[in-house]
Amino acid sequence: MSQQLSLGQVAPDFEADTTQGRIRFSNWGKDSWVVFFSHPKDFTPVCTTELGEAAKLKPEFDKRGVKVIGLSVDPLDRHDAWAEDIRETQGAALNFPMIADPDRKVSELYGMIHPEADPTITVRTVYVIDPARKVRLTLTYPPSTGRNFHEVLRVIDSLQLTDKHKVATPVNWQKGDKAIIVPSLSDEDAKARFPQGWKAERPYLRWVDVPQEG
């Protein structure tokens, strides 16, 4: 069984055929955040809805500097035919590449095959990869459960905010909500970083408003 990637690991490079031509992954995603997600197989109902939703959300991904790429173990000609079904049923045409992985090389490289679930198809894996090609989020859904792409966007908002400022985001955080100053930042250093001040419920729980772009 191939090993799923871990947080902080550099995303492995590969070349593959996609619905938008052959790519080298590191060049295609260079200097961008990437959402890389796999589908059990083409012409399946849940996947069809997911791909339509990801296509509709492209303006939101673009705003955040994120590129989206999908993968299925089916060949390219099936992807092309499936794309037409997605356009007709979901009201959105594919506007990002879909990797064809019939030999399962990329799936195995990224730990997307879980033999105890089904040895022949990929599970619903999501990776968020940062511009330094580090894995920042991993999600694995069972084949029967569709993903929540608004949650993926929420996590990207959090990652981009916390990378820029010495903060963490609390439970159910949404863009624009208060953040928490990280415990490793002393009050003295926090004064310089957050001149607007903060509210301390406990010495380790310091709530702060952080300017957010977009």
Q: Tell me the CATH number at 84.
A: 3.40.30.10
For 52-190, list the strands marked E by DSSP: 66-72, 98-100, 124-129, 135-141, 167-168, 179-181
172 & 143 share domain: no
Respond yes or no: is residue 47 known to be catalytic. Answer: yes
Residue whose token pair is 């959300």: 57
Q: Which of 5, 16, 34, 47 is catalytic?
A: 47
Domain range enclosing 66: 15-147
Cα angle for residues 104, 107, 112 (degrees, 5° grid) = 135
Cross-strand partners of 208? 179
Residues 157-196 pLDDT 10s: 999 999 999 999 999 999 999 999 999 999 999 999 999 9
Please compute the mean of the pLDDT values over residues 20-29 and round it to a whole number. Answer: 96
Total of domains in the chain: 2
Q: Read off the CATH number of the domain in which 187 is found.
A: 3.30.1020.10
Last residue of a domain, one of 100, 116, 147: 147
Kindly report the pTM of this predicted structure.
0.91
Whether residue 160 is contained in a domain is answered as no
Contact call for residues 159 and 128 (beta carbons, < 8 A): yes
Residues 33-63 pLDDT 10s: 999 998 876 678 888 899 999 999 999 999 9
Residue 142 banded pLDDT, cuts 50, 70, 90: confident
Reply yes or no on whether the pLDDT at 90 is more than 70.
Answer: yes
174 & 92 share domain: no
Whether residue 152 is contained in a domain is answered as no
54 & 110 share domain: yes
Q: Report the C-alpha gap between 22 and 24 in whole angstroms.
A: 7
Provide the pLDDT for residue 122. 53
